[in-house]
């Protein structure tokens, strides 16, 4: 518990820093991207400098994707909490992913019908699932099976927990990687392809919502990312005054 607390304190200060930088940087990147567009137009297709201008445009795009990730990680955007059906989110996600994942990845589902809703920001949660799916795909360069499952569990006190898991049959993680996977900026992916913010962001989103997020992994066999969230009815009809949008997590 103490470790979790330290982790979230670290996330908070890192988040504030990252959020500030990301904001300013995003504006600069928009300018770079705009000038690159003009340059691409002005040079025309046959100019030898054209690929260079396109390169600038693409790099600015990658930078913008990173700053979006930083902004989400910094939690500077207020949460729009709503009652979510995780089965619906999973189905939407699968429909979207079916086309983008590639043929060598077999998609599976194991959805438990009739789950109670959870209270969550839909956009942020979709990012969490999307990141998990992209990690799963990256772990299966020569194909494999990706499964999204949902279910209902009960915590020690008998309260309902709604679960969503993303399982892959990929490379898995060594104990070292597993121990550090939620650390901000920890990545084993090469420069330019990993930010190391996906799981740290997911950790923030899920713990802010009162849930837990865990990884189970075995090298060579695969990985499961599991999210557990309190069933929403109680939280939604909460007795306390609902403050302004933002984190009202315990602590």
Exposure on the CB side of residue 238, measured as CA atoms within 13 A: 15
Longest Cα–Cα distance of the chain, Å, equals 69
Least distance from ligand ADP to the Cβ atom of residue 17, Å: 18
Closest CA to 13 of 68, 66, 73: 73
Nearer of residues 61 and 116 to ligand ADP, judged by Cβ: 61
Nearer of residues 86 and 202 to ligand ADP, judged by Cβ: 202
Contacts of 72 (CB under 8 A, 6+ apart): 124, 127, 197, 201, 205
Position of minimal CB gap to ligand ADP:
198
Nearer of residues 69 and 81 to ligand ADP, judged by Cβ: 69
Applying CB under 6 A, the residues found at the interface with ligand ADP are: 131, 135-136, 139, 168, 170-173, 177, 181, 186-189, 194-200, 223
Burial 210-241 (b: 16+ CB within 10 A, else e): bbbbebebeeeebbbbbbbbbbbeebeeeeee
Least distance from ligand ADP to the Cβ atom of residue 98, Å: 19
Least distance from ligand ADP to the Cβ atom of residue 177, Å: 5
Nearer of residues 173 and 227 to ligand ADP, judged by Cβ: 173
């Amino acid at each position: 518990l103490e470790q979790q607390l330290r982790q979230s304190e670290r996330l908070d200060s890192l988040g504030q820093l990252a959020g500030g930088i990301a904001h300013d940087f995003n504006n600069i990147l928009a300018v770079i991207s705009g000038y690159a567009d003009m340059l691409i137009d002005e040079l025309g297709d046959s100019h030898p400098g054209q690929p260079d201008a396109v390169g600038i445009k693409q790099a600015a795009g990658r930078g913008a994707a990173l700053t979006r990730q930083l902004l989400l990680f910094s939690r500077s955007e207020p949460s729009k909490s709503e009652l979510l059906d995780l089965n619906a989110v999973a189905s939407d996600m699968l429909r979207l992913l079916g086309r983008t994942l590639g043929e060598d990845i077999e998609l599976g589902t194991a959805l438990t019908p009739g789950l109670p809703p959870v209270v969550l920001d839909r956009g942020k949660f979709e990012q969490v699932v999307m990141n998990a799916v992209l990690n799963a795909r990256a772990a299966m360069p020569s194909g494999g099976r990706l499964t999204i499952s949902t279910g209902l569990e009960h915590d020690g006190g008998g309260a309902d927990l709604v679960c969503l898991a993303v399982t892959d049959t990929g490379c898995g993680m060594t104990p070292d990687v597993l121990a550090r996977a939620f650390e901000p900026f920890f990545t084993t992916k090469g420069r330019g392809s990993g930010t190391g913010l996906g799981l740290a962001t997911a950790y923030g989103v899920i713990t802010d919502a009162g849930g837990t997020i865990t990884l189970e992994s075995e090298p060579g066999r695969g990985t499961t990312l599991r999210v557990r969230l309190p069933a929403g009815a109680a939280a939604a009809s909460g007795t306390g005054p609902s403050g302004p949008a933002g984190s009202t997590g315990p602590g």
